[in-house]
Structures are given as structure tokens and as C-alpha cells.
Amino acid sequence: MARTTVYKVKLYNIATDEVVISRRMATYEGAAKMGGWPVEGTGHVIDLADLEPGEEWTPRDFDPTKT
């Protein structure tokens, strides 16, 4: 099975003027698509099947330690 590395993602919340951590994890490309940036040191290797279909990020509240 193909695998990829996903990271926690920081996003800017315009409503609160704060940087928050997304409830999803994403690849570098996915983080860019989300308008955020990956948090270095938080990477986990997962199966591609764990990503949302057709996307570069996981479902909300994904726990990579359970894969």
C-alpha cells in the first residue's frame, strides 16, 4: 500500500485574528491548499487510504497512532 507523511497544520483564523491548529492533518501540499502551513516535527506516515478521498488531508480529529 502507498504511504505518505501528514503533519499538524497551523491556520490563520480571520474571525479571531489568531493562529490555530487544524483538526485535520495534511501533507505539505494539503496544508498549502488549506491556506496553512505544516508544523515541523509532527509528521506521521500513514496509508494513502487514510486521506479524505481526492484530497491531501485526513478526516477531522484523525489519530495517526491508531493506524
The pLDDT of residue 67: 65
The pLDDT of residue 65: 87
35, three cell numbers: 491556506
Angle at 13 between CA 8 and CA 17, to 5 degrees: 125
SS3 23: strand
The pLDDT of residue 39: 98
The pLDDT of residue 29: 97
How many domains does the chain fold into?
1
The closest alpha carbon to 42, from 59, 12, 19, 62, belongs to 62
Residue with cell 489568531: 18
Residue with cell 487510504: 49
The model carries a pTM of 0.91
The closest alpha carbon to 58, from 35, 28, 27, 36, belongs to 27
Given a cut of 70, the residues of the chain with pLDDT beneath it are: 67
Enclosing domain of residue 40: 3-66
